[in-house]
Chains A and B, each alone.
Chain A
Amino acid sequence: GAVVSQHPSRVICKSGTSVKIECRSLDFQATTMFWYRQFPKQSLMLMATSNEGSKATYEQGVEKDKFLINHASLTLSTLTVTSAHPEDSSFYICSARFRRAGDYEQYFGPGTRLTVT
């Protein structure tokens, strides 16, 4: 199957700083990438959807100025958490999608655990 990587896998930062998380599709070109966050023992909540070369579409309640998403190429999307606060501590998962044989296939990265102190 297709592989999606995320970097870093874990990051600890101080309150007020910014953190960048990278998501890469390693063996395919992703026309669309998604960013999710997952709180402990809860499901994945979609934060935003991004298409290569265009602005991300944010879900209701997600601050676009706080969670900056850049989808610079067909294999790379980045999520930057700006001015991080302890309540931003969460597990962030990216997902990449491409079209094959007339249908969409979506694959998930391994996640990044962010801890804000």
Chain B
Amino acid sequence: AQSVTQLGSHVSVSEGALVLLRCNYSSSVPPYLFWYVQYPNQGLQLLLKYTSAATLVKGINGFEAEFKKSETSFHLTKPSAHMSDAAEYFCAVSGPSTGANNLFFGTGTRLTVIP
């Protein structure tokens, strides 16, 4: 069984400050991990994904995430927040992509960027 927990339903940062969004996973098999961003009234856009290659994954818009097996974590970071980063962020997990495995989403973290 797979699941993810996102700590903090709402995170506020100042423009230019570090962004840190937390995600911990639970998986009985080596996981694939994803971060998605959702802007209001829109679908999800993939930011980055971990698929058992490099543990530090770089994504779009300056975001990156590090897979830490010992901590079962996959936190999302960005060195300097921009106003356009304000959105809802979802962490998701799936099993190894060898079959019809589905994505299991966390409850989301709303990021607010303060000017």
Contacts and interface: CB of A to CB of B under 8 A. Distances in A.
Contacts of A43: 90, 105-108
A104 B98 CA distance: 8
A40 to B, nearest CB: 11
12 contacts: A32-B100, A42-B108, A46-B102, A46-B103, A49-B100, A49-B102, A91-B41, A93-B43, A93-B44, A95-B44, A109-B43, A111-B43
A67 interface: no
Interface size class of B (residues with CB under 8 A): 10 to 19
Task: Report which residue of B41, B44, B105 has the largest number of chain A beta carbons within 10 angstroms of its beta carbon.
Answer: B44
Contacts, number: 44
Does more than half of chain A's interface fall in helix, strand or loop, or is it mixed? Answer: strand
Interface of B: 36, 41-46, 51, 90, 97, 100, 102-103, 105-108, 110
B102 A110 contact: no
Interface of A: 1, 4, 6, 32, 34, 41-44, 46, 49, 51, 91, 93, 95, 103-104, 106-111, 113
